[in-house]
Amino acid sequence: MRALAILFCLALLPASAAAQERTWPIDEMAADLAYGFCPLYLAGQFSLTGPELAERGFGSTVTKQPHPRVGEMQTVSARHKDGELVFGGAAGKACTVVVSGPKRAETLARLRSNMAFMGLDFQPSPAPGPSVPGVKAETFKAPVDGQMLYIQLVETDIPVPSVAAQLFAMEE
């Protein structure tokens, strides 16, 4: 019955309204990527060139670059009116979401508040690696499948003001 009601309501919309694409504010998109898609990417169950990212404005060009800790990182990017997003990492090892642009404070606040949506008991933790000058990082960890899942929320002004969410698993 509910499905019929929804279909009825959609039928009442003008064709242009029913066909409009959804747009997400950049802070909401960053949190969805970090806490919805990153776990799938870490598990090897999410493609950088899939339709979920394409509908959010990400291109199909995968950029590859070496990373000292995880080997090769692969990323895709999207430019929106309220900033630029980069998504990717090293499948099975690390996932990162980077947002640059004027909504850095809003994005960081949303990343902090939406962390609980993962359903894990994240607790503040010391960073598992060395600190980097000019980079402010908050680290959290939660036990999952005999490992610790880490989330680092990182702020930097170099090369441009940005915020990143990095997810990775390590043995404790």
pLDDT in tens, 22-32: 788 999 999 99
**Distance between CA 94 and CA 166 in Å, rounded?**
7
Residue spans of the domains in the chain: they are 16-56+66-170
Q: What pTM does this model have?
A: 0.83
Q: Note the pLDDT tens digit of each residue in 129-158.
A: 777 888 899 999 999 988 899 999 999 987
Strand partners for 165: 97, 153
- Above 70 in pLDDT, residue 39? yes
Average pLDDT for 36-60: 93
> What would the two tokens of residue 112 be?
């902090």
Strand partners for 97: 87, 165
CB 160 within 8 A of CB 99: no
